[in-house]
Structure 1
Amino acid sequence: MKELVNKLNEARKAYYFGEQSPLSDREYDALYDRLVSMEVETGIILPGSPTQEVGYTVVSELSKVKHEQKALSLDKTKDVHFLETWLGTQDGVLSWKMDGMTVVATYENGQLIMAATRGNGEIGENVTHNARCIKGLPMKIRETGKVIVRGECILSYNDFEKIKESENGEYKNPRNLANASLRLYDSKKASTRHLQFKAFTLVECPKMPKTVEESFHWMEKQGFTVVEYKKVTAFTIKETITDYFEKEVESYTFPTDGLVLCMDDIAYGVSLGVTNKFPRNSIAFKWQDDSVETTLTDVIWSPSRTGLINPVALFKPVEIEGTMVTKASLHNLSYLSLLQLGYGDTITIYKANKIIPQVDENLTMNGNYIKIPAKCPACKQAVTRRFNADKSSEFLYCENPKCSAKHIGKYTRLVERDALNVTGIAKSAIETFVKNGFLMTFADLYHLDTYKEQIVAMDGFGEKSYNNMIKAIEQSRNTTFRQLFYALGIPGVGHDVAKILQKELAEPVAETLVNLVFSENALEKLMAMNGIGKVNASSIINWFKKNIKEYIDLCAELNIQLEKENASDETDLSGKIFVITGTLTGYPNRKALKEEIERRGGKVAGSISSKTTYLINNDILSTSSKNKKAKELGIPIISEEIFKTL
């Protein structure tokens, strides 16, 4: 029967891609009728049977499904020795970690009743309408009791390339295309994508096997395609990885991002329980990040608005993870010293988490060491070297308050949407204004009309552009304290601190803050406000003492309005911490969503941590660093629509 299904599917596959079919129409019909008879006789419908791919379904949305048992993510390691220690005296099963979308399949009375994505581990999406299109996921099995199976929905490299070519799609990789295909509303369209399913966990059945290996055999007998695996002990893990998996990975048909090691004894593994994030009966082994060799050509020093000067490595172009890379941050002076980098050294580059280029090793250390500049690249004034608070890393700083790099960043921040919201001023224009002395203080922004003749004559400007810019500047005079405070660019503080100050200080807040900063015990008074610590309090005081005149002059140009209070007293998100990323559709911008969360008692953070409650991202399947971090920490990733139901 399996051979029959394969022959028919090969013919169908050729048809989809416009290739020569191995079967004539008459041969196809005869084999199809024969297959139908065999399925009726045996009661078994093998994965991907063409008899099951009729009657396409179109849905209007993917409904949410709560999993009966949490589909937890796995802890991981890149250390083979750790795997040996972890397994100890137990037998284990080592299998491919497929790189696609996890699907949970539920059966009752031998029939598939639900196929759902893993989602955040607790709540997934119902994709049952596309189940008939997934090879390796049977619609009917022999077992009539309740059965739950987890597996990975994947796409082969070969099918990925053909689909990418036939549809002229700009798909990044097989994983992304598989995820998008599985979530298509139209099952007819999904059927052209050649999705495949590889089962990796038998979650529930009437009589559970005693071992993982036995569960694989059981699932195969039911018609599932299972992930390839090897039985191991602590003494054979390294050999198995080296002699089998590492040799196979380059030619393996499907995308994989490592291996999974499970305790073979199911009861013993279950008895180990789970942590708050991961099960203790299995662990992922991640391949070491791919690195490539290249030659260091130079190190440039990039000054920033805060005065920090960052070293950036330049090297001969290399391709990593499908993109050409020519530079990578070196972070700080300590990292530079650790690598002992020199001009012309052979270095290795990799992408951390397959995203951010990093310098990994210096293979030559030729002694032609990189020179640390004595002067700022922007203003040519002397620089200083500073250690961070715990003395672990050393950094390079420009102390010149009139440094052009600081000024460019300063005015770029000033006109941002979340600051004074001046539209139509490009960074290149700000650079020219600073260079020509048009912008020397914040208040100068509101007197650019003094230089009308020069600005109109500039490249990229004209009478119309100039008038639009001046109009936008005039409109920005009406602002709020929160926008003003953010626009100042005080290191380490922004809208969150502004909100606290606005709540704690009497009106007019812009003036009251000045009085507080220059009062006795200013540090203690700021620290007494809930949410402001010593570092932020010190940063505020230091900034105002250095820039008080500039602040007062700027305030004189503005009409600082009171923010409208929201009448709602809802606090249903109290205690919850959110991180927002990606493109929004239901809110005009992130600021609006942030205000909604705060109005309801929640908090918004800028980065993922163990304290984060939810990551809001409409692209739940994204491979962004925030999504990856959330998944590693077991933090739910929710869309705007799900957020609105909280």
Structure 2
Amino acid sequence: MEPKQRIEELTRLLNEAGYRYYVLDDPTMPDFEYDRLLRELEDLEKANPELALPDSPTKRVGGQAVSTFDEVTHAVPLMSLQDVFSMEELDDFLARTQEAVPGASFSVEPKIDGLSVALEYENGQFVRGATRGNGVVGEDVTENLKTIRSIPMTLENAPARLIVRGEVFMPKKAFQTLNETLEENGEKTFANPRNAAAGSVRTKDTKVTARRKLDILVFNVQLAEGKTFSSHVETLEYLKSLHFKVIPYKCLSDREKIHAEVTRINKERRKLSCDIDGAVIKLDDLAAREFLGATAKFPRWAVAYKYPPEEKETLVEDIVVQVGRTGVLTPKAVVAPVRLAGTTVTNATLHNQDFISRLDIRVGDTVRIRKAGEIIPEILEVNLSKRPEGAQPYFLPKKCPVCGAAVERDEDGAFLRCTGAECPAQLSRNIAHFVSRDAMDIEGLGSAIVDSLIEKGAIHSPADIYYLTLDALAGLWKSGTKAAQKLLSAIEASKQQDVSRLIFALGIRQVGAKTGKSLASYFGSLETLMDASLEELTQVPDIGEVTARSIYEWFAQPQSRHMLRRLKEAGVNFESKRVVTDTRFAGKTIVLTGALTRFTREEATEKIELFGGKASGSVSKKTSFVVAGENAGSKERKARELGIPVLTEDEFLEMLS
């Protein structure tokens, strides 16, 4: 089959599978098959970029970073709704509306707690997505919205211009996973799924948006050129026919049934995949909506019934500290069991010391608690009137509760982190980093094998990798000893890696692969680096005071010294092979762009750094020259605009010879 035909076929198959999975929740293609076909499509598009279709599923992973969001003036304003907080207020609205429109019926829908957006299509192609903003002017977030799998990129039999409104949200499971990851990494967590959705849509990096697993429910036709509808329900069914993921609804006219549906949605809200904060009641008749009109702020034909959050009091029985895989100390309140949002809660996150101090939470306190996003128990405030005598302020420990190493505050001061190089709580992650491709590059030592070795007690530190025996590895592979022998060979070979990789592998905060290379080139050996003073470290190019202090304090830790001694005894190389002797690129910043054919990007970067230069990923006035391969794109254009020399690969090779 010709590449063009196969690309078209794969795009159609994968988009249909995506629609069944993300919109209908009725998957028809196994994940393995989907991934296999997607890889085939990626390879075909890479070889034939001109044949890639606008609605290709490969464009859903993000990658286009934006510096600012342009303003978008909405063709039809995205109005907000009047809130009501009781059945009496809801009855007033229903009575008033049915008096003006006798026999009126209403669509009752859950009110998704997310970010309202407008999706615009021209001739069936998704062309623009914008946030609600102030209802009249929003922000262009098109590229970020493209990463949401339930938003169709192409519509069949659509009007020439179509604008629909929907609510972007983060599913509860995705929210919980995201916050756990952020907390594990010592980063600020989101207060609720709505904030998480809004932050994810407005991030400048579309790859971040793609990873956040956002979803959308569409609930209104804003504009449909050449189409006429008589009722709101008719528009929702039309949107379903176009393959949109549409808000669930019931169309009712009886007041008691509307009450019952509002109550039912509230009772069932915990079973929903997304967070809701109410129910929306809308007049169904579109002509009657025009007749009723709107006030300066709200339409007269709809209201939002807001559910009160469920909050209860409970007792803080204890505060315990857990150490995460990244070394972050996370305090949790152990509370007296309390039924909340459908489950029994026995603990609540306390985030960090600043949070504890701000609310002044103490063991023995009575606190008011709720579930953020119906998922994560959180403390809202302390009932000081019930505080017992003698209750003491709480402070996180100064030493790691797992390994006893000193703890340090992050740069922003929000989190405390264990500094132990051999801390058992961080062991799995530390080893995963140690053996990674840019570090010691030990192929075959995957996370499952590492976890098995930790469970068996075979490794307690990254240094233990170099003391593994065939007996210790026995039984980890079905294939017998062949895989074990291959791994032992890879471990042995890694001993000869340049010390720059070892420096990076140690996992010192602020020290990435580039900094590892700078340190190796400057000091020549790990032993010299270990004994460097704080002042000497700050003399290294591109290393500031914060990074220098992080390096100095890491080498001062007893656990670090113990691990390094065992690495040295195992025969791991401590000498640099990267000492700069040829300085032809000294002081030069070089950018590589496009597809290089004469060498890999890593090989080119290695040469630049070996000759004293710096490889950069972006073009600026400080760039010395650009090496442009095939399909160089925007970096080459920017270099020419700034008058920066652009070299071919052959010209660059000539400079290297």
Q: Give the TM-score, by structure 2 length.
A: 0.41
Q: Give the TM-score, by structure 1 length.
A: 0.42
